[in-house]
Structure 1
Amino acid sequence: MLLTSARAASVLGVDPLAIERTRLTDAKREAVRAAARATDLERRADDERDAAAKARADEAVVAARIERAEADVAAARARVAIVATLLARQRAALGEQQAPVARLVAALTSLARRPAALALVQPGSVSDLVHVRAVLGGTLPVIRRETAALRVDLAQTRALQASAALAAASLDSSWRALLGERRELAALQARHAGAAVQLNRAALAQSDRAIALGEEARDIIDRMAAFGETQATLGDLAPLAGPPRSAEAPEPRAPVYRLPVRGRLVTGFGEISDNGVRARGLTFAVAPGTIVRAPAAGGIVFARPFRGFGTIVIIDHGAGWSSLVTGLGQAAVRRGVAVRAGQPIGRAPANDAPRVTVELRRQGRPVDTAALIG
């Protein structure tokens, strides 16, 4: 197939190596850009998470201030109630001490309303009136002296009541303002947290793109090497008339395929994954520490951790077929070794919800494994 492509490119006057070099340069440049975008998005996501954490901390401080304000408001209202009780008692005591004056005033009022002719008819009434006035004149100064301190206390209590009511109103206003501030901080924290999630998803998408571009660059390098090897062969075969026509060579068959793990299918081929990217393989939820096996025979070309994908193992099955297995906790193979179908290549992580993803690719393009699983 490479010979045919190289011959066609030669007939058209196009250097296939130049084309592949251009593609390689573009793929590497895009991979670097995607990685840079992923790094920038991760940094921005970290900033948003930091902002969300700060908002949560500020909210906690405001919550503590609200609790203190609520306690102060309750105490102020209790003081108002105590002052009101004290004021009522002082008013009652003042009323008791002023009772004699009230009775005297009532008596004088009654005498003042009696007709003058009645006083002449009842001679004793005039002497009684004089006597009452004398008693009243001597009693009033005494009552004023006795109640002077109580009147002062009463005035102070009224002032204290007004001050306590004013303080309670001020504290209540502060409490309401703190409640509003807390609501604003909670909303700010939610916005930052949401932005962090979105940026993290975008960063994962860019990381996924960087991996894909890196694999594309590797495939281009392989094709360039193959083109280089075929140049001499093309030169040797050019003078020959060529073999007689025959049926075209059969299409390279796909490897017999098996699932690398047993688990619950979370994302199917072509579905939108949790990070918002269209899935190019199958993702399984598995038990912690589950053994992950090679889906088909081949050679290990990559086996190490990569960004947020856990440990990644890439198996080259030959004829342009390769498998990408991600989400491993650790790898049991290394680059350059050959594996059989079903041979353990690692284990799932020991965390609470491990997920393992397998992607089958041909010439770098994702292939649905549904029809190949045997």
Structure 2
Amino acid sequence: MQRSRLTLAALSFTLLIPATTLAQTTQAPGATVAQERAALARATAQASAAQRRAQEIEGRANLAAAAADRTRDQAAALAARIQKSEADLRAGQARIALIAAQQRAQAHRLALRQKPIVRLTAALQQLARRAPILALVEPGPVSDAVHRRIILSQMLPIVAARTRDLRAELARSAQLRRSEEQANAALEKTRADLLGQRQSLAAMEQRLRVAARQLHETAGAETDRALAMGEQARDIGDLLGRIEDAGKMRESLMRLPGPTLRPANPGAAALPVALATPAAALGAPSYRLPVIGDVVTGFGELAASGARSRGLAIATMGSAAIVAPASGRVAFAGPFRGYGQILIIEHAGGWTSLIANLGALSAAVGDEVRQGDPIGSAPPGSRPQIVLELRKGAEPVDIVSVLR
């Protein structure tokens, strides 16, 4: 009798487990799933933006009359395609991480749903061992047998419902496994496409460099002067200051009027007037981030060195494509102490960009680059960080405020 009552109590307790309890206990892995969804959304948005840029540049290339301009546009379009593939790769990795997080959450739910089913099955087995006829000869009130029949009739629909839920969770597990296989296959295809695109861009950049060397005989001397400034500079701030001074000198020389022929009537000659300030000097240039990735250090935040950041640190993938954030002239390209390979671009109106920690450079001192032109690549390895600074004169500027 005591054993029978314990079985009835166990059954009653199992039936009283509310569904909300299971729902509450399955919320633990939800934060990870939400994070992976956010990462997937960011990567998808970056891929869409890169796709739009590639289409715009390809349209410009189709309209270019000169072969040299068309080749430059084709290289820029290919760089945009590469950045789209890099964003697609990040999206694929985020998708696989999301599926893995969903699998963990689903396994957690499955384990929780299995527990009451196991308890119900064990209780049913104990009751099934007792033939109804034995209730007439065993000690104990007849009410126990009545209670068992009532509880059994109540349990059957609950067992059926929970079994259906269990089958649904198992089907969800199979679906997640298929999704994982498809995502892995898509990721491998994206990797292969990206490798081919990078090889094509490297060959195109080599042709552009050969053509540029033939056109610019003074490029070697200009590069030597820039590297000499890098050796003389105490730090990156000093280097930027020297480049700014050299740029001002160059602009002043360019603004000097050429030789003036002696007029027939010297008294009627007009006096030279100062050139008007260029319109571009009134505001920041059209600006964009040069690489696909995640901003890990913002303007004014504490950097790993403990100093306040004067720009952005962007974590990207190894060998990621780097493009010009805005149009301008390359004032420095080469290694600098503690910054790896760096590139300094002078923009109109006294604006200057510094891009540091590059692995390879494809732009040279004196090159006129347009926004989106390929200028280099990130170092190989896992999540290298590209440093980007924008300055107006000597003052660092918050890049986020000028992104367009």
TM-score w.r.t. the length of structure 2 is 0.36
Higher Rg = 1
